[in-house]
Structures are given as C-alpha cells and as structure tokens.
Structure 1
Amino acid sequence: MQPQVEHMLEKLEHLSPERLTEVEDFIDFLNQRDQDKRLRQDYAQAAEDTFSKVWDNDDDAIYDTL
C-alpha cells in the first residue's frame, strides 16, 4: 500500500462515525466531479467531430481566417 494511503487510514481511524460519513461524502463528491469533467470532455470531442463535417467546407473557408 502507498505510504500516503497508509497515513490517511491512520488519520481516519481517529475520526468519529459522523466525520467518517462526511469524509465518504466528500470522496464521492470528488469522484463525481472528476467523472462529470471527463463526460464534458467526451461530449465536446464528439460534438467537434460531428460539427467538423459541417464546418469544413469550401463555402465557409473564409471564416477560418477570422
């Protein structure tokens, strides 16, 4: 196990059950935030690929220099 994780576990052992619940909620929040960020990035990439088919054309090439 990583030393940092071991150190965190030692700290967790001293917390009350109420505080452990708060810590668990915070960990869940961080995981959800990271997942949301990845989803936004994936959606943006998918939209970019889709829109590039519409945006990349000779008629609209003049706008590429703006």
Structure 2
Amino acid sequence: MTSEQRLLVKLQQLSPEKIAEVENFIDFLSQREQENQQLTAIATQLSEPVFQKIWDNPDDAEYDNL
C-alpha cells in the first residue's frame, strides 16, 4: 500500500470536523512552503548585485571561461 493509499484510509476514518482540520493544516504547510520559496528567491535577487561586485574583476576573469 502506498503512502497516499494509507493516508486516504486514515482520512476516511475521520469525522468531518477532523477532516477540516487536516485540510487547514495542509493549507498551512503549502503556504509556508510558498513563503520559503519566495524568501529564497528574494534573497537570491538581493545578493546578486553584491556578488557581481565581488566576482566582476580582472583577477577572477580567467574563471569566467571554466
């Protein structure tokens, strides 16, 4: 039995109120994951100019061709 099948069996045994709680928790986890991805993207964008200043110099130019 797959994890999805086990989860479905467990969900079928819950009351409607508990199913609503599970759904809310899943929504919370999804939202948190989206926020983490957004924070990572923002941090990457903000760090690019700083790294550009560090890496864009004649001493490191030979690494550009690797």
**If the TM-score is normalised by the length of the shorter chain, which range does it land in?**
0.7 to 0.9
- After superposing on structure 2, the runs of 4+ consecutive aligned residues of structure 1 that deviate more than 3 Å are 55-58
Q: Which residue of 2 aligns with 1:44?
A: 43
Q: Does 1:25 align with 2:24?
A: yes
Q: Which residue of 1 aligns with 2:61?
A: none
Structure 2, unaligned runs of 5 or more: 58-66
Cα deviation for residue 51 of structure 1 reads: 3.3
TM-score (norm 2): 0.74
Cα deviation for residue 50 of structure 1 reads: 2.8
Equivalent residue letter for 1:5: E
Deviations 1:12-60 (A, max 9, x none): 001000000000000000000011000000000000013334x5388xx
Percent same amino acid among aligned pairs? Answer: 34
Cα deviation for residue 7 of structure 1 reads: 0.2
Higher fraction of helix: 2
Q: Which residue of 2 aligns with 1:35?
A: 34
